[in-house]
């Protein structure tokens, strides 16, 4: 009896193990894992549930379903009654057929795209384009743009909301980044970031890594948001796009004295940098342009060197900078520019052409500058991927 009971238990365990091995896999999908499944043969019906969970029914119906995993992309769409579905790019460099999932109306495909890809994409269903084109950028980020194990992390300290006198009626949030290596007996370098509500999220890991390696000096980071009025109106464009010394005076007369109540900062311009994206980028350039004795380094991504601040004459905006750079004596500032060929093109100007004009003007006058161009859109994706290289270039001769 005991031997029969033991045999039954063993048989039951074997059946359980066999059932588990035959059960459909319900592991979470990624672009890479589904790529392997697609390459091994047709997708089977049990995949429908995890696919719908991954994307959501609305995104599938609207043709907006996409997931990226490094340089691998997973495309998906629900197309009732369709026979042939493809994903394509506006420039026709991409034309990939999707595979039907079992007998469902779901179609899927994966693509491995080059580093630096920037394209507009959409779907065709039985030869007809559906929906509007969407944007896609893919980059392999520099390792030092990401948090690394074993590297000490600086502190991000939120400050009390600042009520400005120079920009009367505005209030703004701001944060100070303090590296672990800072000591009060040795003044630190400074780097100011516009649109600090976003920059504070991705800048600190690069600072942590590069400072730890000695590839940039010990640097205090100052992250400042644009001002807002009591009724909620943003003062961003006025503060950032206007060609004047008002913003740099706001920094020098209000913000930096407040920082220096707690932290010691180096005073020489080569030890001070200012950075921003879009309108924040032109703002950074304007600050250094107006006061090169206080800010000697500029980092501008997708800079808005166009006619946003057109004023009463409709011609007072940042599109004037290339001509100004050529017309006046060279100023002692180092400039890092980044932009993409697919940046904005609207009534205020063409951002890509505007940045090319800036690059040519800086080259003509013999400035210490670099320009990194790509295929991207009006986003910070490219800049974030190359951030450590940009910082090392800016700070290369400062200890």
Q: Is residue 9 part of a domain?
A: no
Percent of residues in the chain assigned helix, strand, coil, to nearest 5: 35, 25, 40
d(CA 178, CA 221) in angstroms, rounded, equals: 7
Closest CA to 241 of 298, 306, 180, 149: 306
d(CA 331, CA 146) in angstroms, rounded, equals: 34
Place of tokens 């900062």: 265
Q: Is residue 14 part of a domain?
A: no
d(CA 367, CA 362) in angstroms, rounded, equals: 5
**What pLDDT band is residue 36 in, cutting at 50, 70 and 90?**
confident
**pLDDT by residue (tens digit) across 234-259?**
999 999 999 999 999 999 999 999 99
Closest CA to 399 of 175, 214, 172, 170: 214
How confident is the model at residue 32, as a pLDDT? Answer: 78
What are the backbone angles phi and psi of residue 225, rounded to the nearest 5°?
A: -90, 160
How confident is the model at residue 45, as a pLDDT? Answer: 86
Whether the pLDDT of residue 177 is over 60: the answer is yes
Q: Is residue 10 part of a domain?
A: no
**What pLDDT band is residue 13 in, cutting at 50, 70 and 90?**
very low
**pLDDT by residue (tens digit) across 20-32?**
333 344 456 777 7
Residue 307 exposure: Cα atoms within 13 Å on the Cβ side: 14
Q: Is residue 123 part of a domain?
A: yes
Domain containing 91: what range?
A: 27-138
- Which of 81, 108, 138 delimits the end of a domain? 138
Place of tokens 């707690």: 262
- pLDDT more than 70, % of the chain: 93
Domain identity same for 308 and 169: yes
How confident is the model at residue 137, as a pLDDT? Answer: 98
Rounded average pLDDT over 338-359 = 98
As beta bridge partners, residue 301 has 277, 338
Domain identity same for 156 and 221: yes
Strands 99-100 and 106-112: antiparallel
How confident is the model at residue 30, as a pLDDT? Answer: 75
Contact 162, 174 (CB under 8 A): yes
- Which of 105, 123, 138 delimits the end of a domain? 138
Contact 288, 245 (CB under 8 A): no
Name the region of 373 (left: φ>0; alpha: ψ -120 to 50; beta: rest): beta
Domain identity same for 133 and 148: no
How confident is the model at residue 4, as a pLDDT? Answer: 52
Domain identity same for 73 and 110: yes
Whether the pLDDT of residue 214 is over 60: the answer is yes
Whether the pLDDT of residue 18 is over 60: the answer is no
Residue 332 exposure: Cα atoms within 13 Å on the Cβ side: 11
Domain identity same for 119 and 186: no
Whether the pLDDT of residue 343 is over 60: the answer is yes
d(CA 241, CA 307) in angstroms, rounded, equals: 9
d(CA 33, CA 307) in angstroms, rounded, equals: 47
Rounded average pLDDT over 309-322 = 96
**pLDDT by residue (tens digit) across 95-120?**
999 999 999 999 999 999 999 999 99
Domain identity same for 82 and 107: yes
Average pLDDT, the chain: 92
Domain identity same for 222 and 109: no
CATH number at residue 382: 3.40.50.1820
- Which of 84, 104, 138 delimits the end of a domain? 138
Q: Is residue 8 part of a domain?
A: no
Please state the domain count of the chain.
2
Determine the 3-state secondary structure of 135 from DSSP: strand
Domain identity same for 129 and 161: no
What are the backbone angles phi and psi of residue 192, rounded to the nearest 5°?
A: -100, 135
d(CA 394, CA 399) in angstroms, rounded, equals: 12
Tell which wins on pLDDT, 24 or 37: 37
For the chain, where are the alpha helices, taking DSSP H only? 2-22, 31-40, 48-55, 57-62, 196-213, 236-241, 246-250, 256-259, 279-290, 321-327, 351-364, 381-385, 387-394
Rounded average pLDDT over 357-380 = 98
Whether the pLDDT of residue 385 is over 60: the answer is yes
Q: Is residue 248 part of a domain?
A: yes
Question: What's the pTM?
Answer: 0.90
Domain identity same for 237 and 325: yes
CATH number at residue 100: 2.60.40.10
Q: Is residue 1 part of a domain?
A: no
Domain identity same for 152 and 44: no
**pLDDT by residue (tens digit) across 123-165?**
999 999 998 999 999 999 999 999 999 999 999 999 999 999 9
d(CA 15, CA 31) in angstroms, rounded, equals: 33
Rounded average pLDDT over 371-387 = 98
d(CA 85, CA 80) in angstroms, rounded, equals: 11
Q: Is residue 310 part of a domain?
A: yes
Domain identity same for 124 and 182: no
Domain identity same for 107 and 161: no
């Amino acid at each position: 009896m005991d031997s029969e009971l033991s045999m039954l238990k063993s048989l039951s365990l074997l059946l359980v193990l066999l059932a588990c091995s035959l059960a459909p896999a319900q592991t979470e999908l990624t672009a890479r894992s589904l790529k392997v499944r697609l390459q091994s043969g047709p997708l089977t019906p049990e995949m429908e549930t995890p696919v719908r969970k991954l994307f959501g029914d609305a995104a599938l119906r609207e043709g907006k379903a996409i997931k990226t995993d490094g340089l691998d992309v997973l495309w998906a769409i629900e197309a009732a009654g369709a026979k042939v579905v493809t994903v394509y790019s506006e420039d026709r460099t991409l034309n990939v057929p999707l595979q039907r999932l079992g007998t469902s109306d779901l179609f899927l495909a994966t693509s491995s795209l080059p580093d630096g890809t920037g394209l507009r994409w959409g779907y065709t269903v039985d030869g007809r384009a559906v929906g509007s084109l969407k944007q896609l950028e893919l980059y392999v980020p520099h390792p030092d743009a990401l948090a690394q194990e074993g590297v000490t992390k600086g502190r991000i300290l939120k400050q009390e909301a600042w009520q400005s006198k120079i920009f009367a009626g505005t209030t703004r949030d701001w944060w100070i980044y303090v590296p672990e290596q800072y000591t009060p007996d040795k003044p630190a370098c400074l780097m100011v970031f516009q649109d600090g509500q976003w920059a504070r999220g991705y800048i600190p890991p690069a600072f942590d890594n590069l400072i730890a390696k000695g590839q940039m000096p010990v640097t205090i980071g100052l992250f400042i948001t644009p001002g807002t009025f009591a009724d909620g109106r943003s003062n961003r464009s006025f503060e950032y796009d206007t060609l004047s010394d008002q913003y740099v005076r706001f920094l020098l007369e209000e913000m930096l004295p407040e920082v220096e109540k707690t932290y010691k900062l180096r005073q020489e311009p080569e030890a001070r940098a200012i950075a921003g994206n879009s309108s924040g980028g032109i703002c950074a350039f304007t600050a250094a342009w107006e006061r090169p004795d206080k800010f000697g380094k500029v980092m501008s991504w997708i800079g808005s060197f166009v006619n946003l601040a057109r004023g009463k004459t409709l011609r007072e905006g940042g599109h004037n900078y290339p001509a100004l750079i050529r017309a006046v004596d060279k100023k002692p500032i180092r400039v890092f520019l980044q932009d993409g060929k697919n940046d904005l093109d609207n009534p205020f100007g063409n951002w890509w052409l505007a940045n090319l004009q800036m690059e040519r003007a800086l080259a003509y006058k013999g400035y210490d500058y670099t320009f990194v161009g790509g295929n991207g859109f009006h986003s910070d994706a490219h800049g974030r991927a190359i951030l450590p290289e940009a910082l090392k270039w800016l700070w290369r001769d400062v200890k």
